[in-house]
Amino acid sequence: MKLIFEKSHPGREGYSLPADGFEEIPLDRCIPEELRGKKRELVEVSEVEVVRHYTRLSKLNYGIEDGLYPLGSCTMKYNPKVGEYLAGLERFVHAHPFSPPELVQGTLELIYELGELLGRITGMEAYTLAPAAGAHGELAGVLIIRKYFEDRGEERTRMLVPDSAHGTNPASSAMAGYRVVELKSNDQGTIDLGELEKAMDSGTAGLMLTNPNTAGMFDPRIDRIAEIVHGRGGLLYYDGANLNATLGILRPGDCGFDVVHLNLHKTFGTPHGGGGPGAGPVGVKEFLRPYLPSPVVEFDGEKYRLRDPGEKSIGMIRSFVANFSVLVKAYAWILSLGPGGLREAAEAAVVNANYLLAKLKDYYRPSYGGFCAHECVLTGRDFKKHGIKTLDIAKRLMDYGYHPPTIYFPHFKPYAEETLMVEPPESEGREVIDDFIAAMIKIAAEAEKDPDLLLEAPGATPIRRTDDVLAVRRPVLHYDDELKLKEEG
């Protein structure tokens, strides 16, 4: 496909403007001196050429409206379009954050009610909806933990983070001033209780845990984990990135967690990807309520008000509140499904993942035995004897019309070699998953009988096999870069 610059023809115009009544101004008065001298090539194309070019480009994008998006640990699911409509309602769109509370009672009510619903879903007693995304919520949650111990006069300088955690967990802990201590997983991909016993001491603030974890494995010993952490005076933090596996089935608050952050843009029916927008609400047990960031929304029985939690609060972590449109969509999604629907969504996600695992485990050896939760970790390590890596499998999958799943993640031992992580969310039907499974089985056969097909893949996409290392080191960000690369051959 040609670049727009390659479609340019001298003298061709895409628009015309009527003559104005202003006197002519010399060009050197319009362009600053430091910008003169180097002529920039401007594209000369007609309007229809511009429209066709960018329409064609838009059709090259792959999104959830095109097909399965099986990115493990990301929950790239289809979200109802009614949420977009509701978020675009005029009185939400034009509600100014500096408006007096009495003029925006509807928006404050939604924030308050959503916090109450999230509390009932997770077993937490108080929520802040201020964090703008998951990692931001993590930071807020860890800061709450730090302020709690400071208030008690306890000097705790370490935070435990499993090797199965999302990468933002250690980053958030470090930003909050803690020294991160990594806990190694056992051969089931879950917490090693012996390691936890040794690491959890009076100088440790607590444990950040995702359950089910990044390998898609649910740790059934969560009660013992909570007992160990609380027994040494620590707090248990829940990373809610994988809540869609237990939604409506199991509440983190009932499992011993003290602080929870959620990803509304993963679990609660709001689009995920493209850099945002997101929302990362944080819920806490009652004893941590005074430490929530300011302000919080309260209801006195008549009006909704903004209130400062008090001197123990960690303060403001963001201007205003998350990304409000995301809150609207999540609120609508929860109300539309109800308690039974939320549970059904989680059950469907778990069934989808285990169905896919059962169908593919004879072709791509799983990292861990037994059942998985909402996502499964397969591997391509058995194909290395044919010269094939997981990257080649992912590239070939593009020829079958699918976005590749997450590869080389999770990366923790002992079974992390050549990983291929798949998450078929609850929004996908069996027929879609069956088609994906069929493509994966065909690729497994090709890897053994005709490995060159994989090594040269993708061959049916607009851009063929790229040099990934060169693409990182010398990205083409401008037409001049393209010309330079062509000159260099």
pLDDT in tens, 394-426: 999 999 999 999 999 887 766 678 999 999 999
pLDDT in tens, 303-314: 999 999 999 999
Tell me the C-alpha distance between 466 and 141, whole Å: 41
Give the global pTM.
0.89
- Of 410, 414, 413, nearest to 422 by C-alpha is 410
Tell me the C-alpha distance between 87 and 83, whole Å: 6
pLDDT in tens, 316-355: 999 888 889 999 999 999 999 999 999 999 999 999 999 9
Other beta carbons within 10 Å of 358: 13
At residue 487, does pLDDT exceed 80? no
283 forms beta bridges with: 127, 260
Using left for φ > 0, alpha for ψ between -120 and 50, and beta otherwise, residue 153 falls in left
pLDDT given at position 475: 79
E strands, 300-374, are 304-307
Question: Is the distance from CB of 309 to CB of 151 less than 8 angstroms?
Answer: no
Question: Is the distance from CB of 77 to CB of 326 less than 8 angstroms?
Answer: no
pLDDT in tens, 41-95: 788 999 999 999 999 998 888 888 889 999 988 888 988 999 999 999 999 999 9
Question: Is the distance from CB of 212 to CB of 370 less than 8 angstroms?
Answer: no
Helices (H) and strands (E) in the chain, counts: 16, 12
Q: Side chain identity at 23, as an amino acid letter?
A: E
Question: Is the distance from CB of 473 to CB of 393 less than 8 angstroms?
Answer: no
* Structural domains of the chain, with CATH: 4-58 (no CATH), 82-336 (3.40.640.10), 345-473 (3.90.1150.10)
Q: Side chain identity at 64, as an amino acid letter?
A: I
- Of 142, 347, 319, 320, nearest to 244 by C-alpha is 347
Alpha carbon 79 to its chain's center: 14
pLDDT given at position 23: 81
Tell me the C-alpha distance between 10 and 284, whole Å: 64
Q: Terminus-to-terminus CA distance in the chain, angstroms?
A: 19
State the helix-helix crossing angle for 134-152 and 168-175, rounded to 10 degrees.
40
Percent above pLDDT 90 for the chain: 73
237 forms beta bridges with: 208, 259
Starting from the edge strand earliest in sequence, which strands make up the sheet with 158-162, in order?
126-128, 282-284, 259-262, 235-240, 204-209, 158-162, 179-183
Q: Give the pair of three-digit tokens for residue 275.
A: 């850099």
Question: Is the distance from CB of 145 to CB of 123 less than 8 angstroms?
Answer: no
Alpha carbon 168 to its chain's center: 11
Is residue 167 very low, low, confident or very high in pLDDT (cuts 50, 70, 90)? confident
Average pLDDT, the chain: 92
Among 113-127, 397-411, 462-476, whose mean pLDDT is lowest?
462-476
Tokens 């001049």 sit on residue: 480
pLDDT given at position 39: 60
The two beta strands, 126-128 and 282-284, are: antiparallel
Percent above pLDDT 70 for the chain: 95
Other beta carbons within 10 Å of 190: 23
DSSP 262: E
Tell me the C-alpha distance between 403 and 393, whole Å: 12
Other beta carbons within 10 Å of 299: 13
Q: What's the rounded mean pLDDT across residues 435-439?
A: 98
Tell me the C-alpha distance between 11 and 19, whole Å: 18
SS3 call for 383:
helix
Q: Side chain identity at 278, as an amino acid letter?
A: G
Query: What are the angstrom distances between the C-alpha of 308 and each of 112, 254, 382, 409, 480?
Result: 15, 28, 58, 41, 53
- What is the DSSP annotation of 466-488? --HHHHHHS---SHHHHHHHHHT
